[in-house]
């Protein structure tokens, strides 16, 4: 299939187009209908008539943006008309929603008269919270935006002008830092003098570039003092006293080129004559003014950015408009002013200097990403952009007097994280709890770069005091290669630690009647997991996190031998937290006990309930089987029913029932209609599986096919906190598990668990303990 056919099929298949209106309230019965429409809808109408600001409370206005065009300058296609521009506007709406959870009406105005567009937008003010102008030709776009900003009290933003300015401005700041040039000294040449070029030049002046150091070129050449042809008041701002008449003249000795024109407008010969370490932003799409390979052929010292995703440093407007509007809407800003644009630029520039998560780098097929000539600005799919840009814009609106609402930044970032998905919201709460009382967390795989980066983040978040196990020189070398700081991170080498002898005797005392000699204990301490387990068991660390490069048994075996199961429970189990769009489900046992007894199932459920409460969620437990409350007479089903009885005896306050099938656990209609006697009245959020096969298979299917985000495995039932990572875990997974481990350690000051209904033997390495499948 050709690219053309692929693009057409993408837009046509299934439901035509790229956006839809999705209801946010239920409409399933007559009562809902009477509330959504007549007569109930009259009540919010009357309230809004009384106080128009209540439209932000009772309607979608506060999260709704109109994307408005008249189709006079669509992409590189020119004046193709309003209806032909609709696919672009729908695409813009899709980006608003996907990147910042903003709802959009795309509106194509059938008039090339700028006054018609102005009047139309003014009449929209009661409907939307903001207006994004798009693909309107110059100079009409300047006149339209200026008029609307003066006459309207909601944000109006022409992305073609300001988006490129804001994002390339961040790239410029970082590029000049790398080449060690002062912004007030550089000579900047623009290829192109349209809306984007003029707005970008003005933004650069506000960043510190001297206006007299900007040479702007259009089709007729350099815009110099006294030039008369093809001029307008907006171009006239950049008339320069210069002898240069062509772009080739202008580029001699220039420090920066910003291309916002057409493919092929610049040649290698022109680039060769620029100043040392030139900065080349060739931003024409889909083909830039000059390709990066052509630049490098003549100037290996150049720093290059384009508008394309197949080259480094993509200047993509999606890094700006969704997050700028998000911040503006959330404080009910009356405009998007220069202070807000500047805040977005500086936030983007600063974010590029932060460590890049593996999950982001892997999206672009990269192993490691760090600030430098090939990474000037963040990637569009970096979820941190929302968390940096929107708060910066919101706070700038507040500080500049453009906001009607105030936001407290920490609470606002938490709200933004919840927009990125329930998983980030849940984990943010755990991280906040961890930060309130950080604990010492030992990482046996201390030489692993992912562990080092996660440890640095844990320090930055203030949630842990990391201890890295490994060779000090190797750890310091790895940290240096990735520009990671080891400040406030302890390093302990098991091979030379002064604790070795004491730990060997401690481990020998625990294992001497299970075949371990003192010499064997000494040898095993070269293994970081044995050494780290001894640190936790002896109180030299509060928790252990390991497993990024190991199979499950290699991590859990040392912990079970040295630390063991909690004496009150006698059972270790594993659970996952699965985070969906609208709910969270805990699954156990997914990693440890292959075929649990009824007593063990009751203990697994009890331990899972405690962990669930630790996450601030009240557990509703479903004990799963292939049978519903005795519908099938079989020992497997009876085992689960017996476990329910034991768990109720142990803790009558728990909401638990079973045995039940999985659909029964989630369908309240089935529960109320067929099993009104069930203690479970609403959807279960803790699922206890009858055996390891069921639990392991189910959580992986939900993770990979059900759209859930899996957090875990969370090891429960250990005498002290030990948590095992998935092999190959990402940095963010390690950070999440560190937070879980710290919260677990915080809870160890609480009274010990009560004894189970029937004591089961402590798990050791034996027939019931194996790796995750």
With beta carbons less than 8 A apart as the criterion, state whether 317 and 290 touch.
Answer: no
Q: How many CA atoms lie within 13 A of 572 on its CB side?
A: 30
What's the Rg (C-alpha) of the chain? 31
d(CA 214, CA 133): 27
Which listed residue (18, 49, 92, 770) is catalytic? 92
With beta carbons less than 8 A apart as the criterion, state whether 334 and 155 touch.
Answer: yes
Q: CA dist 673 to 273, 582, 668, 670, Å?
A: 81, 24, 8, 5
- Tokens at 288, concatenated: 């830039």
- Tokens at 725, concatenated: 């990572």
Q: Which helix (H) or strand (E) holds 688?
A: strand 686-688
330: nearest Cα among 88, 83, 584, 63: 63
d(CA 222, CA 247): 6
Q: How would you label 484-498 residue by residue, b for 16+ Cβ within 10 Å and e otherwise?
A: bebeebebbbbeeee
d(CA 357, CA 340): 27
Q: How many CA atoms lie within 13 A of 287 on its CB side?
A: 7
- Tokens at 536, concatenated: 């936790």
Which listed residue (3, 18, 25, 37) is catalytic? 37
d(CA 550, CA 693): 21
With beta carbons less than 8 A apart as the criterion, state whether 671 and 689 touch.
Answer: no
Q: Which helix (H) or strand (E) holds 440?
A: strand 439-443
Query: Is 37 annotated in the active site?
Result: yes
With beta carbons less than 8 A apart as the criterion, state whether 503 and 534 touch.
Answer: yes
Query: Is 18 annotated in the active site?
Result: no
Residue 270, phi then psi, degrees to nearest 5: -65, -45
Which residues are tagged catalytic?
Answer: 37, 92
């Amino acid at each position: 299939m050709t690219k053309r056919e692929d693009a057409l099929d993408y837009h046509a298949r299934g439901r035509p187009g790229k956006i839809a209106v999705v209801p946010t309230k239920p409409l399933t019965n007559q009562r809902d209908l009477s509330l959504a429409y007549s007569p109930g809808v009259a009540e919010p109408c009357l309230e809004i008539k009384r106080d128009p600001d209540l439209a932000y409370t009772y309607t979608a206005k506060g999260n709704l943006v109109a994307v408005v065009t008249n189709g006079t300058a669509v992409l590189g296609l020119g004046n193709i008309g309003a209806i032909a521009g609709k696919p672009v506007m729908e695409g813009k709406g899709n980006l608003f929603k996907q990147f910042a959870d903003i709802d959009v009406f795309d509106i194509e105005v059938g008039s090339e008269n700028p006054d018609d567009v102005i009047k139309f937008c003014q009449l929209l003010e009661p409907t939307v919270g903001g207006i994004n102008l798009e693909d309107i030709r110059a100079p009409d776009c300047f006149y339209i935006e200026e008029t609307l900003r003066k006459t309207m009290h909601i944000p109006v933003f022409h992305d073609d002008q300001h988006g490129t300015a804001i994002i390339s401005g961040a790239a410029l700041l970082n590029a000049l830092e790398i080449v060690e040039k002062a912004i007030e000294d550089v000579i900047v040449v623009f290829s192109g003098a349209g809306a984007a070029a003029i707005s970008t030049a003005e933004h650069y002046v506000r960043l510190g570039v001297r206006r007299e150091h900007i040479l702007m070129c259009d089709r007729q050449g350099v815009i110099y003092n006294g030039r008369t042809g093809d001029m307008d008041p907006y171009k006239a701002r950049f008339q320069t006293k210069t002898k240069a008449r062509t772009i080739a003249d202008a580029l001699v000795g220039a420090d920066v080129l910003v291309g916002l024109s057409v493919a092929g407008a610049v040649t290698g010969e022109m680039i060769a004559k620029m100043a040392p370490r030139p900065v080349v932003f060739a931003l024409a799409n889909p083909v830039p003014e000059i390709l990066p390979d052509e630049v490098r052929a003549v100037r290996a010292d150049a720093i290059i950015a384009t508008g394309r995703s197949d080259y480094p440093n993509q200047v993509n407007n999606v890094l700006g408009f969704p997050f700028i509007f998000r911040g503006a809407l959330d404080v009910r800003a009356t405009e998007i002013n220069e202070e807000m644009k500047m805040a977005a630029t500086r936030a983007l520039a600063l974010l590029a200097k932060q460590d890049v998560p593996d999950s982001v780098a892997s999206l672009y097929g990269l192993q490691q990403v760090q600030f430098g000539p090939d990474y000037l600005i963040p990637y569009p799919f970096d979820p941190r952009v929302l968390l940096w840009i929107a708060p910066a814009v919101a706070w700038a609106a507040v500080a500049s007097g453009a906001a009607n609402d105030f936001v407290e930044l920490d609470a606002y970032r938490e709200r933004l994280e919840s927009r990125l998905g329930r998983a980030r919201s849940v984990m943010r709460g755990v991280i906040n709890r961890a930060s309130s009382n950080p604990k010492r967390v030992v990482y046996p795989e201390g030489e692993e770069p992912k562990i080092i980066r996660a440890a640095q983040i844990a320090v930055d978040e203030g949630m842990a005091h990391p201890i890295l196990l490994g060779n000090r020189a190797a750890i310091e070398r790895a940290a240096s290669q990735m520009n990671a700081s080891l400040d406030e991170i302890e390093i302990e080498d098991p091979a030379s630690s002064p604790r070795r002898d004491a730990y060997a005797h401690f481990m020998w005392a625990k294992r001497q009647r299970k075949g371990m000699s003192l010499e064997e204990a000494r040898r095993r301490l070269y293994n970081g997991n044995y050494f780290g387990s001894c640190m936790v068991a002896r109180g030299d660390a509060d928790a252990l996190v390991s497993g990024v490069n190991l199979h499950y048994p290699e991590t859990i075996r040392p912990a079970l031998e040295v630390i063991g199961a909690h004496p009150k429970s006698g059972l270790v189990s594993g659970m996952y937290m699965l985070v969906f769009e609208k709910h969270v489900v805990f699954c156990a046992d997914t990693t440890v006990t292959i075929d649990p007894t009824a007593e063990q199932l009751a203990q697994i459920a009890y331990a899972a309930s405690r962990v669930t409460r630790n996450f601030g969620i009240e557990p509703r437990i479903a004990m799963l089987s292939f049978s519903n409350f005795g519908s099938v007479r079989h020992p497997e089903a009876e085992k689960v029913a017996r476990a329910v009885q034991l768990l109720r005896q142990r803790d009558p306050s728990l909401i638990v029932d079973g045995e039940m099938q999985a659909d029964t656990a989630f369908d309240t209609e089935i529960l109320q209609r067929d099993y009104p006697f069930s203690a479970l009245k609403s959807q279960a959020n803790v699922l206890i599986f009858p055996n390891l096969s069921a639990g392991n298979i189910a959580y992986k299917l939900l993770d990979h096919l059900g759209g859930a985000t899996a957090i875990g495995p969370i090891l429960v039932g250990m005498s002290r906190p030990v948590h095992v990572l998935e092999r190959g875990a990402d940095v963010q997974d390690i950070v999440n598990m560190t937070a879980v481990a710290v919260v677990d350690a915080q809870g160890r000051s609480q009274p010990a668990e009560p004894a189970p209904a029937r004591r089961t033997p402590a798990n050791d390495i034996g027939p019931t303990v194996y790796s995750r499948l």
